[in-house]
Amino acid sequence: MTLRAELAAPEGPVVPGTTLSADLHVWNEGRIVDAYDLTLLAPRGEWGERRLGQLPVYPGMHEKIKIPITVPRSSDLRPGPLALAVQVASVLDPSLVVVPEAEIDIGPFRDVEAELSRPQTVGRFSGSNLITLRNTGNAPVAVRLRTSPQDEKAPLRSRMRRSRVVLAVGERARIGVVLRAARPIAVGKDENWNVKITAEWDGEAVRERVFTHRRRPILTTGGLRATMVLMAVVVAGAALWLSPIAGGTRGPRTQTAAGPTQLEQVNSAAAKARQQLAQEKQKNEQDEKNEKADAAPKKRQLQHPLFVQTTGGSKESAYTVETGYRLQLTTVQITAAGNGTLLLSADGKPLGSVSLSQAKDITPKIPVTVPQGHTVRITVQCGDGTSSPPTVLPSPSPLPVPTVGAATCTATALVTGELIPDQKTPSEGDTAKENER
């Protein structure tokens, strides 16, 4: 009893979040009717239903089935080739299993989340707010920021501290927006004005966020009334000081009006204004520090596929650690088929080897760190082999006849780990290694 299967995926890039249809061909080269369990093998994520059901095939015939595959809209799927496979297992003989593979091209998509730190700001002469941007796509994105009051007649001027920012995949950035009053209010009531922030990328995609700025007058209604009462008390005290009472002779008066003097009130108001300006300055400095801290690289998880297919000889595939990061390697998940050997190395040092016919995951026993600019590499050494053509039973439909040729070796390795920010440049790392030697 023999079994053969092929998996064909459509050409062209596939945007994450969409569904594609792959064709699976299964040949029953045995002598009895058999059914086959179909299971989708894909990286971790929302790939839809993994178990695809059963497919019955008569002896000497083949069946074709279309398999819908939903590519998850996740930033973990980077643009580029990605290997998918379907496990075909015989129901009558569970040991009879084949795993045909196909490669799809993951296309880029860009998306940005925007969130305001405060829904409302308050100030007499100025105000400020922060907007946090996060790249939720799978490719870098350049975001352009604009801000303006929603009402063209609003007595405010708004500007962004940075009008353009480039975000890597999963990166966050906090951008400040500064407000200035064009015409401060001397006396009156509070005024509320809406301010709009627009984030644009790719020429079409837009995110808009709106917050309210409450502009307060320099002197409130209550403060104005208190000032008028104080002035009336001062005038009455001065008149009482200068005028005689009940026919008495004019003389100096030493009694003053109760409460603080006008000079003391002016000094108190000036001190309060200086304190408020100092608080606003300290707040702006803290916002700038937060922006610089958010702009620094952050830790993020890595899942990168390596794929090798060769017919005889040796072939390799490698992943190079990004600049500004070092890779803390966790495990390497391996799926392989053929007659040969797979060698795994990191930073030029061997980590292990497995036979393609008995592929298994490789997990380092001790932590393995790969510096920036260095590689994690798989090398497949495929042995030469020949096979005689199998006996083909009569069939109502013509079947392709296998030909004699060299053995084909296929291997897929999913490199899993954590990218950790690294402040050293590649030249500094090389110099450190030379000094250790």
1-109 shares its CATH topology with 112-219 = yes
**Structure tokens, 111:** 């998306």
CATH number of 297-437: 2.60.120
Q: Can you point out the beta strands (E) in 205-299?
A: 205-215
Helix, strand, coil percentages (3-state) for the chain, rounded to 5, are 15, 45, 35
- What pLDDT is recorded for position 312? 78
Residue 212: which residues within 8 A CB-CB, separation 6 or more? 119, 120, 121, 192, 193, 194, 195
- CB count within 10 Å of CB 433 equals 10
**Structure tokens, 156:** 């405010």
Torsions phi, psi for 47 (to 5 deg):
-100, 15
Name the class of domain 1-109.
mainly beta
Q: Where are the domains of the chain?
A: 1-109, 112-219, 297-437
Q: What is the arrangement of strands in the sheet containing 325-337, beginning at the earlier edge strand?
A: 300-311, 408-421, 325-337, 368-370
Per-residue pLDDT of the chain (437 residues; tens, 9 = 90+): 688 999 998 888 988 888 888 999 999 988 899 899 999 887 765 676 778 888 999 998 989 999 888 888 888 888 999 888 999 999 988 889 999 999 989 899 889 999 999 998 988 888 899 999 999 988 999 999 999 998 888 888 889 999 999 999 989 999 999 998 887 777 777 888 899 999 999 877 788 999 998 888 877 666 666 777 888 888 887 777 776 654 445 555 555 556 778 888 888 888 999 999 999 999 989 988 888 777 777 888 888 999 898 887 888 999 999 888 888 898 998 998 888 899 999 988 898 898 888 888 888 888 889 998 899 999 998 976 544 444 344 444 444 444 445 678 999 999 999 888 887 655 555 545 545 54
For domain 112-219, the question of CATH label 3.40.50.300 is answered with: no
Is residue 278 helix, strand or coil?
helix
Buried b (16+ CB within 10 A) or exposed e, 23-58: ebebbbbbeeebebbbbbebbeeeeeeeebeebebe
Query: What's the predicted TM-score (pTM) here?
Result: 0.45
Alpha-carbon span 159 to 195, nearest angstrom: 10
Alpha-carbon span 168 to 223, nearest angstrom: 51
